[in-house]
Amino acid sequence: MAKKEKKMTGEQYKETQDQIVSLAWLVDELDLKEFINRIDYTEAVAPLFHPTLYMQGIDKLLLIKELAKAFREVQIAFEKLKEEEEEESNK
């Protein structure tokens, strides 16, 4: 028998929404384009200059890069949200 999903209350919904926006503000301040570029550079040159270190750290580096790319998508979506809110406030 499948478990019945617990419904989210209005208060939980609002709290989750507020936390998402708070996190978006934090992520928005990060220079993720340059961070991802730096990882790309590291992926290109590290095997040549530090192959052992590269082999030891590449798995973690790629996971961090994946997170950074996901957060970059958050930045893009948050920028759209801020633009929409600005348009609404100018009406």
Q: Is the pLDDT of residue 87 over 70?
A: yes
What pLDDT is attached to residue 17?
95
What pTM, to 2 d.p., does this model score? Answer: 0.79
Measured between alpha carbons, how far is residue 71 from residues 21, 59, 77, 79 in Å?
Answer: 13, 19, 10, 12
Whether residue 91 has pLDDT greater than 90 = no
d(CA 36, CA 27): 14
